[in-house]
Each structure stands twice: as C-alpha cells, then as structure tokens.
Structure 1
C-alpha cells in the first residue's frame, strides 16, 4: 500500500506537466527561409516561389527573431505557422509570465520600406521574410495575428510597433502595397488602431474594437499581453505575373515591449476572384429577381466544376455560372491539368419586405388640439415591416427625394395628417421609399369657458354628443354629454373618442346678479361733461345710454346738456338695471328788457331738483338774490330796482351738497 501511495502523486505530476506544456506554442529556429515559405506557408502547385530571404536579430546566443511555431494542443487559433518578432522568437512561447523586451544595443536596424508604408521614420529591430511568387490565379490571401507587449495600461493610446505585408510586381517602380490593413479601410493594423476602450488617466475610446481579441492572463499560449483576432491579408493579382512580397515587423522608436506577427501555416491561398461577397451585412445583397453571372474563366485548357453550399452542381461545368438564389458558391478550376485553383463567393438576396402597418395614429395630448404631435420614429420603424432583418437601417424623410434625415422624435409639420417616407439606408438599389402616414387625432371641444350663474337659478353645461365616453368631475361622477348645475365652481369633463384619445374641457361657473346703482357722479357745467355710474353686485357689468350699445367703462364723456337714462347690464345675462342723470349748464347771459324773451336767469332742467338753492352776487360779493330751483329765477332787479348791465356771480348748492360756482352777464 505504501508503494501505491507514492506512485500516484508521481503519475499525476507527470500528467499535469505534460498538460501544462501542451497549453503553449513551441518554436523551432532551424527552418531556412525557403523551408518557411515552401513547407510552412505555401503548399500549392498553383503558385511557384523563389528568391527567398530572411533576416532578423543578431543575438550573441545565436537565437533568431524568426521561427516556425507549433500550436498543436493549445488554444492558439493556428496549429502552426511562422512567427516574426522584434525580439527573440523563443520568447514568444507561453506562458505570459515575463516581459519580451529584447534587442537593446545590438545594431539591429529598422526598415525603410516599412517606414514609408507606415509614414514613420524611427524603426529598429526589423525582422524580414521576403520572396517572389507567380500564381495561376487572380488573387491570393493569408491569415495572421498581431500580438504585442504594448497591449497594457494606457500604451495602446500612444505607442505601437509597426509591421506591414508589402507587395508589388517585380521590376515595378511603384510603391509597395501594404496588405496589413484594418478590414475595409486603408488603416494599418497597429496597437493604436485596434484596441478596446482604455480607461483611466490618459485613456482613450475604443477603435476597431471588433478586431481586438483579448488582453491575456498568465496562462496563454504566447508570451504577449494582447493580440488581434485572426485577420486576413489579401490582394488581387494578375495571373502568371512575378510578384515580390515582403513581410516585415520592427520596433518603433525604441526596443522596449516586443511585438510579433503569427502567420498561419498553409494559409497562403492562390485562387480565383469571383468578386466581393454580396451580403446584407455589407449592404450589397442581390435584389429580388436579380441574377449575377460568376466568371471563373482562366487561360489555358481547363475544366470547371461549380458548387453551391458545398454541394456539387454536376451539370455546371462552364467557366461561368448564373446565380439565381442565395448561397455559398465555389468553383474548382483544373488549370492545364497541373493544379486546382479555387474561388468562392457568398451571395444573399434582400428579402421582399412585407409592410404590416403604414398608418400611425397618435393623440394630440399637449392640450392644444392643434393637430401636431411628436412621433417616436424609432418605435414606428419596428412596426412597419413584419420581416425586417435586424441588420437593416431604416431612415425617415419628408419627400421621396429628400436627403435630410428626420430626427428620432419628429413633430409633424402638416397639421392632423402627413405622409413621410421610410427608406432602407444600408441596402442600395433594392427598395423604393415606403410612404408612411402620420395622423394626429384631435378632439375639438373648443376653448375653456366662463359661464355665469344667476343667483337662485340653475344652468346646463353641454358639449357635443358622439364621443364614446364622458366623465365630469362631479360627485358623483356624471357620464352624459350635459349636466345641470346650480352652484358656482370649476366643472371639468373628460371625453374619449373611438380611437382611445382623450381630452378635457373646463367650465368656470361664476355666480352673478343684477347691478345695484349706488351713485352717479356727474361732472357738468364744463367743456367736457361726464357722468360715472357707480354700482355694486356679484357680477361683471357693462354700461349703455341707449340700451343698445354697451361699453365696459362706467364713465360717459363729452355729454351735452340734457336728461339721460342709462342701463347697467350683467354680462352673464342676470338682468339690466336702469337709472337717470342730468347734465346741466348755466346760461352765459340774459336780457331782462321787457320784450318777453330771456327775461329771467335760471339753470335749465334744474327744476327737477327743487331743493337746490341758487344765490346771485355782484362783482363785489354783495348778495343780490336767492331762489330755489323750481322758482322762476332772477329778473335783474335788486329790491325792486333795475340793476345796470354788468357781470354777476352765482353759487348753486345741490340737494346732495354739491356746490357749483360761476358767472354770467346781464345785458340791457
């Protein structure tokens, strides 16, 4: 039993050592440039390769900065391939528990072609693999991963080593074409161009984050802090033309924090270009009833075989094939019996969109009932089509030719009903504009009203009939279109129509009564005679001198001498109160000469106020005569003696205590 006890731990130790070892890539630096290219990268009779060279670090230990790597048994995406590093190739092996930081003070130069491709001037520690090739196909591609120790902290916001895959025809004076680009852009792949959001001080937002794989922990197949996802470098080429390709990576500015490119073994593919994939996600699917001719024609005595979704299309042996349905299409071309060149393309068709709803009704809820309302177009776009693909982008416009995108929260510009147009923004050529009707449901109850209620009476509050429901704020709630009330207050009714829209109207009921006249203030004996009617009462009143034309002011101006009747009307219809007043004026002279005309000085109309006293004085203030308003007046005599022609003064004391003074002339 003791033997078993000691043997089991030994077996487990060996097992875990083997398991841990298999988690990491391993490198082999014994491959020549030709072996790396011919045996590792390219294994195709459809291309010939030549003129191999490789260069890198001059380490005193004899180690190299390039190598063959094996990822069998690890989680690394490539089972094998080539690694080119700015440090020792052996330091690219996992685990990620040390800093790869080689190449200081070695006289290890950079590369001018790389600097020109990246528009930089300060590279060092360059590792370069280059060769020539001729392909029978019209395109080629290969897969790679860019890894770096600079994927740490905030370094991705500022620092990156550089690398490029440089291609051009042999003998051409043109600049190299860089194939190491962020997909569908002209941006070189770098730490600074492919990373997630970097938080903290001196951080930066994410850029091309979809192409960043991960920051690595210790247990990682390589000894790098982070890397991209598997990317593909590709180019269109001319068949049977000699090309030169240069794969180069270098430190920028200084040797610190090494980087490497891992190129997938056997991933160099020389094939045929059937054109770009036509996908909904890329915005270029085929439209319904549209056909696409795929052309794989190659020079020479060739045979062709087409496939759809991996299934042999046995009868399709022509150089061209007409696509009439979506799928993954591929072709195998046996070129002169020497090699098989392949091409593939994925085709999707834009679906016929089914319009489920093209009219959207919204209640006018802002209280104005003006026929305008804010529509949430983001919600509407998800309700228009019953089969809208999730990747489709829908935009809204006011006319079919408009290029101005409507905002997500859109208020109609035409009251009550307006047609706008939905367009599929990211799929070109397959769809016309879809007309969408926006309706604003309004309920016209009119403005809020102020209603008068006469003391001791009742009145009816009423709105239009025909709504689906009514609710008055009475206790208990009443649900008819009209109610009878006998008390003042605010009465609000809420109505709802058949579309479920609601609105309210408020009646302000004010108690009212006829006016009580308290005084009439007359300002007469002047050039602008006025009368002001003073009243009291629980109401709002208007005033008139003829019972026809009423005014809000209780003062009448520019009145002539005479007797007046006036009327005070309650605007709520609770009654009219009448009254009278006089506008008086004293004569400027009189002629007591016995001719029977104008023999007495008297104030006309004053007889209606018999208790009024008029007193006459001469210019010296001597009392001459006094009489009541209902008497004849003064005859121009004093104690029976006729007075001389002269000016005389009067004082009038009215029944209400009002006093008026003035003067007049006695003329003989």
Structure 2
C-alpha cells in the first residue's frame, strides 16, 4: 500500500512550503533500511557511506522530504557533489552551487563503470543484500546546475548505481537510459542549443528550474530544489539471482572540477526486490488509454518466471482505504477496464517471501464532437476576414463538461488528427485561403489522449450577380401574358458558378424592392407584353445584408 500512504502524506503536507527540506541526522543504516528499502525480502548488511565529511569537507548525503511541494518524490535519499543542506529551493540562478574542494576525492568505481575521468567530490552509499526474487528496481531523479542552457552540451558530472554479484562477480551499472547500457548524463538527456548541440533523449528531461521560454520550465522562485534542471523520474532495474549475495553502490561525483554541483534523488520506499508493475498509467503522464479500451498490466517478465511463484491481484477501495482481493485473478497479468489503483502480490513458493507493487491506472474520457456552424463574413470592405472560431466552442461541446475537455482548431486535417500545429489565436483567425476555407476542430480530454474531430467552413466573400441575358417569349394565345418560371430561367446565370446552397435568389419588379428585399415575385410569374424589366437579388444565407442585384428584360411577342 506504499503509493497510497504517500498520497495521503502529500495531501497532509499540501499546506507546507513550496520547497523540499533536508535532514542530515539520519545514519546510513537508517537511510537504507528505513527510507530506501521497504521489503522483508532483502537481507541488508554492511551499510556504509562516504562523502565530504570524511575528508574534512561538507556533507553530501541526507534525507529529503517534498514538504508539500510539487517535487515528484514524497521523500527519499539525496546524494550530492556539494553541500546537501543547500539543495532546497528556490533556485537562485544568481549563485551557482559549487560546494566542496580538491581535498574531497572522487570515486574509482564510478570511473570504472562510466565514461567519467578525474572525478572528485564523490558521495556514495552502499550495502549488501540477498534478494529472493529475480529483479531489483528503484526510482531516481538526476538534477544538476549544468542544465543552464550552455554547459549541458559539453559538461556532465557522473553518477552510477553499481550492482555486483558477490558469487559470480558480474557487475552492472543500473543508472542507464531505459533499454540501453548508456550511462545517464546531463550531456545525453537535454534540449539542444542552436549552434552548440542537438536535442537528445528529451523525453527523459522534465524541466528547467528557471524560466526558459519555449522549453519545459518553472519559475526559479517556484522551484522545489536549488538546481537548474532535472530529469523525469526514472527507474533503475537490475536482474539478480535469488539467493545470491549482492553489493550495490550508489555514487555521484563532480568530473574534472568542483564547480556546478549535481545530485541524485532516490525515492523513498522504491527499492523493490523484483515486483515491478512499471510506471503509473495516467492522464497527466499522457499514458492513459481511452474509456472503453482494455489495458493489460502485469510483470511483463519482471519478478522472475511464473514457475515457482504465485500471484494475487487486488484493487484499492477508496471507501475502506485498503486493497480488496480480486477473486480469481491469480495470473501474472491482469486486463483492466476501470480506473483505479491495482496491486499485485508475488510470493516465492520456495522461500515463502512475498513482495507487492502498486500501479495507478486511469482511463481518459472519450469526447463527442458535435457539429459546429459554418461562419460567414461579407467581403464588402466593412469586415477584414478575421473570424472568431471559438464561437463554435459551445456547439462542439454540447452538454459535455468544459472542465473535462478542450476544443482546438486546425487548418489541416492531418494536424487535427495528430494534435499538432493548432491555430494559436482561434478568437482572431485571419482566413488564409479565401473565399472558402475548411477549419478542422478537435475536442479532446485535458491530457490530449482521447479526441473526436469535426469540421466547418469559414466563408469570406461578396456575391455578384452573373451576366444576365435578356429573354423573349412568344404570346401563343395572344393574351398579352406569358407565365415564366423565373428560377428555372435565370438562377444558373445569377449564380455564375456560386454554390446554390450558400445563397438565396429572389426576383422583383423594381430595383428598390430588390435592394430592400421586399415584394418578391412568385416563382411562376406572369410577364405582361410587350416587355418587363425583372430585377434579381442574390444574398448570402448567412448574412442578408451581403447581397448584389441586377436586372434583365423579358419581351413578349
């Protein structure tokens, strides 16, 4: 129930300050046993640490607490290449953290397992453990002063999570980019800088902790930590042999000099001996599925093979605040169709040791795109072809809650499908392809995951009566009157290629009647000899004041 307890704690602390707090009073044993590890399935021994205080310098190891801030981890361990007491925000960009000096050495194991050389100011904590399940994992964040829109192209401090099998001697560095063996560094998780370097692995960079327009960033005064930038929460994963003894060393150090400190934050309670359901699937993370879809969650190979282990799934009950067993769900995977917090318990049949992990699963609401209205402006010099597309917001939403959905507008259908290149000023959009342009509207949940599409047209035009030819009819019965179907006779000429669905045409006896739109003639009109002048009016169906008029003669002979 680890994640639920942390959630409650976060709510309790929400009235606190906006920066993390640091506590340097914890021993290394307490930091590992009580903070990092939360499982009886790992036998922990020989806990030790090394930092600046071992060399007459500042301390780089401590406990941190989110203190109600928006830092991604509620609490945990911080390892830093400088004075850990200075890690709390806000981020004072005018003073760079550069604690420690040359008397504080680096770490040879770190250099042996990364590309780092000439390290100094190393902070490390290590311990031995015996896992009972086939994989370990824990969560961490790298933060650094080198994320300053300059040094991230060329400078990076180094850190590693060095896992050593004490039986086989196999060594792994777990601080690597997901799915690779590439050590995580500032220089390979960054946004590019024009003329210096390109973007690389930006999906793993969370934010700059000072205002950087056009990039993910927060105001320096609002930053929970005193570092210029940080990665997203990442998970270190290592395959282990159940029953073998292991040593893990968590270490960070400056490279080449002591300037521009870095830190690694280890999430409290996240050291997991093998039961790992992976990251939460949520709307905020952009990983949720849409309502009505099915998500398979499970170990996906983590936690060891199914042989030799038993499984039981649970779902969190928000009323009782405990996990309820899901009857019959005893496989390593579970098909989920309802939002909730799910938990799996894995028990090793040989040792009897068990472990659990939780995962939050959300399904995004699926919107309906109701039909918007077409919009019209008359191109008569009084208007400039600038449309307020947001007039259609309420129509597209219909009865749906505007607090759950966003309405966006696009010029291109493909862009509307992908949710890119939206019209940035939809309340003042200048038509780009007059007289008629199709606008594509997308309604989506607030995470941009589930969406529906519609379209409408904007019309910026002025109708003109086409060239009208005079007509003549024979008075076959010498009555002096001939019945003429005026629309059948002249509508095509009047429209002159315009869309008949967008315009109304009426016929009149006088120009004044046509211009004021009064006294329209019937469709079948009796023309009186010898000649009558018929006046015609064409007007937009959207705007009756957007019109043109013309005339033609009908002769009776």
TM-score, length of structure 1 as denominator length? 0.48
Is residue 2:261 matched to residue 1:247? no
Deviation at 1:233, TM superposition (A): 3.5
Mapping of residues 418-567 of structure 1, within 5 Å: 434=453, 436=455, 438=457, 440=459, 444-446=463-465, 480=518, 497-500=540-543, 502-505=545-548
The 1:172/1:361 distance shift into structure 2, 3 A limit, reads: farther
> Which residue, out of 316, 320, 324, partners 2:327?
316
Q: Which has the higher helix share?
A: 2
Helix, strand or coil: the match of 1:125?
strand
Q: Is the 8 A contact 1:281 1:391 kept in 2?
A: no
The 1:283/1:91 distance shift into structure 2, 3 A limit, reads: closer
The 1:102/1:429 distance shift into structure 2, 3 A limit, reads: closer
The 1:375/1:381 distance shift into structure 2, 3 A limit, reads: same
Is residue 2:238 matched to residue 1:234? no
The 1:40/1:207 distance shift into structure 2, 3 A limit, reads: same
Match of residue 195 from structure 2: none
Cα deviations across residues 160-215 of structure 1 (Å, max 9, x unaligned)?
Answer: 6624343557458786342589xxx996468976654867xxxx656442xx6845
Is residue 2:58 matched to residue 1:45? no
Is residue 2:360 matched to residue 1:346? yes
| Structure-2 separation of matches of 1:72 and 1:283 | 23
> Which residue, out of 290, 293, 314, partners 1:290?
293
In structure 2, stretches of 5+ residues that fail to align are 1-19, 191-204, 300-304, 424-428, 469-490, 495-502, 521-535, 551-557
Helix, strand or coil: the match of 2:378?
coil
The 1:327/1:341 distance shift into structure 2, 3 A limit, reads: same
| Structure-2 separation of matches of 1:194 and 1:418 | 37
Helix, strand or coil: the match of 1:38?
helix
Cα deviations across residues 409-442 of structure 1 (Å, max 9, x unaligned)?
Answer: 69698987979796979999977x8563537497
Deviation at 1:248, TM superposition (A): 1.9
Helix, strand or coil: the match of 1:178?
coil
Match of residue 327 from structure 1: 340
The 1:419/1:141 distance shift into structure 2, 3 A limit, reads: same
The structure with the largest alpha-carbon Rg is: 1
How many corresponding residue pairs?
442
Deviation at 1:42, TM superposition (A): 1.8
Is residue 2:275 matched to residue 1:272? yes
Cα deviations across residues 3-51 of structure 1 (Å, max 9, x unaligned)?
Answer: xxxxxxxxxxxxxxxxxxxx9644248x45x564334422411234456
The 1:178/1:469 distance shift into structure 2, 3 A limit, reads: farther
Is residue 2:375 matched to residue 1:362? yes
In structure 1, stretches of 5+ residues that fail to align are 1-22, 450-462, 483-492, 508-668
Q: Is the 8 A contact 2:283 2:364 kept in 1?
A: yes
Match of residue 103 from structure 2: 106
Deviation at 1:126, TM superposition (A): 1.9
Is residue 2:175 matched to residue 1:178? yes
The 1:104/1:174 distance shift into structure 2, 3 A limit, reads: closer
TM-score, length of structure 2 as denominator length? 0.56
RMSD: 6.2
| Structure-1 separation of matches of 2:69 and 2:413 | 54
Deviation at 1:306, TM superposition (A): 1.0
